[in-house]
Structure 1
Amino acid sequence: MIIERAYAHRPAHDEDAWPWSVPCVRQLLEEGLRFTAPVTFLVGENGSGKSTLVEAVAEGFGLDPYGGSHDWRYASPRDKSALGERMKFDAAPGRGRRMAASWSNRKGFFLRAETAMDALDREGFSPDSVSHGEGFLAAFRGKFLHAGLYVLDEPEAALSFSSCLELVGHLDRLAKEGSQVICATHSPLLTALPGADIIEVGDHGLRRVAWRELGIVDHWRRYLADPHAYLRHIVEP
């Protein structure tokens, strides 16, 4: 573990504006967000705020908000978010405290699905001869090597079923080698990683759930059992 808790101070004004009005952000401001396992998944609908949270965690740790490693922080023109500017951490004992004490000791990578290939190319890692999904996997194999904080925003976006399984193996390896992973995802496959902490994000704010209790797991199970039960409400006869 690297960080045990993320928190931020409420701004003096604009409390009803985005992102302060988002339920999960309000809960973060009031209670903070504790991390209890080396791998944490944030799961929720589009617009629930999960990507806002992981981006702010990455920014607070010193990772470039555009995406990339700690060594390339703020190399892009993208500014830090309002929440990222206020993000603070309680470090875990050992490696976490050493990283928190010194910027030069901080290691990690922020992978955003929409900017991942550009960020990798900027860092001199350009798998041009492979597909988008294969490029993602090449990044996991070639860049996710050292103990650090790895923040991922929907990494499954470019991956097939079998490639997602490979990613699960990479995440498991990182956790066992002393890294910490915080990942926003829609994937029931990724969230099934044994030992992972799962936090469901929504109108309720933040709540920890078991994998089989996730809404996405229930929907996928029922959809695969009977697609027509869903599609009859979507597709015109």
Structure 2
Amino acid sequence: MILQEISCSIKETKKNQWLFQIPAVNQLIKEGLRFQKPITFFVGENGSGKSTIVEAVAESYGLDAHGGRGGRKYVNDRPKTPLGACLKLKGIHLSHYLKHRKGYFLRAETAFGYMSFVSGMPGYWKENIQEMSHGEGFLTVLETMFHEPGLYLLDEPEAALSFQSCLRLITLFQQIIKSGGQVICATHSPLLTAFPNADIFELNDGGVNKVTWQDLALVDHWRRFLDNPSTYFTHLLSTAEEDGHD
């Protein structure tokens, strides 16, 4: 395990910032968070704090918050987010990986623009991803960069991936783990979170809770939707019509 624990110590004067009022972030500040498996998923609704935490880990590890690999020039010159500025990382072998910045941060929001910029540069991929679909470009990057021990952070990687491509991503996760690396992923995907023997943290109004895949709210929603989508649509469309008459 590269990263075993994260914690945060902030000044009392900063505790009223909106970011630190998010239940999951607030709990992290008070209790910290331990990683016990080589692959960890953060799951939760939009605004629950999962991407905020993954981004802060990336910053503390020395990866660009906009996405990219370790060791990029100017990364450490950019102002950190409030959480990234106070986050502390702990791990028995962490100092070695911090020194060499082995790892990669894939952020779906900014990934394609960054990937297009560095295509063909030394240390990256040779393919021109502008000639590919988003999904093909993502997989090209992942298959090129996810090949050695390191800390790999992903923020909603399924955004550009089909069902089959998500399955390919799972095989890459397994390769990273076998090499001695570690994966931390924020996701809405019931497919990715089904990865065997992974730790799953669900973020909601109650804070951060470790759950099993079967007990995830998103798994329950998808299961019920796929079983009977008409029930969801009947409720949603009738509600929309009522709102339209107001």
Length-normalised TM-score, structure 1: 0.93
* Residue 110 (structure 1) aligned with residue 108 (structure 2): no
CA, structure 1 residues 75+120, in 2 after alignment: closer, same or farther (shift >3 Å)? farther
Q: Partner residue of 1:194?
A: 196
1:136 is aligned, of 138, 146, 151, to 138
Q: Please say if residues 65 and 79 of structure 1, whose CA atoms lie closer than 8 Å, have aligned partners that are also in contact.
A: no
Q: Partner residue of 1:96?
A: 94
Q: Partner residue of 2:160?
A: 158
Deviations 1:153-185 (A, max 9, x none): 000000000101111111111111111110000
Distance 2:114 2:6 in 1: 25
Distance 1:167 1:145 in 2: 12
In our comparison, the structure showing a higher alpha carbon Rg is 2
Q: Partner residue of 2:8?
A: 8
* Residue 41 (structure 1) aligned with residue 36 (structure 2): no
* Residue 208 (structure 1) aligned with residue 210 (structure 2): yes
CA, structure 1 residues 119+98, in 2 after alignment: closer, same or farther (shift >3 Å)? same
Unaligned runs of at least 5 residues, structure 2: 242-246
Secondary structure of 1:72's partner? coil
Secondary structure of 1:221's partner? helix
> What is the number of residues matched between the two proteins?
232
Secondary structure of 1:53's partner? helix
Q: Mapping of 1:67-78 within 5 angstroms?
A: 67-72=67-72, 74-75=74-75
Secondary structure of 1:83's partner? helix
Secondary structure of 2:43's partner? strand
Length-normalised TM-score, structure 2: 0.89
Q: Mapping of 1:57-68 within 5 angstroms?
A: 57-68=57-68
Secondary structure of 2:71's partner? helix
CA, structure 1 residues 58+162, in 2 after alignment: closer, same or farther (shift >3 Å)? same
Q: Please say if residues 147 and 179 of structure 1, whose CA atoms lie closer than 8 Å, have aligned partners that are also in contact.
A: yes
Q: Partner residue of 2:19?
A: 19
Distance 1:185 1:78 in 2: 26
Q: Please say if residues 172 and 193 of structure 1, whose CA atoms lie closer than 8 Å, have aligned partners that are also in contact.
A: no
Query: What's the CA shift for 1:77?
Result: 8.7
Distance 1:49 1:129 in 2: 34
Query: What's the CA shift for 1:74?
Result: 4.0
Q: Please say if residues 66 and 76 of structure 1, whose CA atoms lie closer than 8 Å, have aligned partners that are also in contact.
A: no
* Residue 120 (structure 1) aligned with residue 115 (structure 2): yes
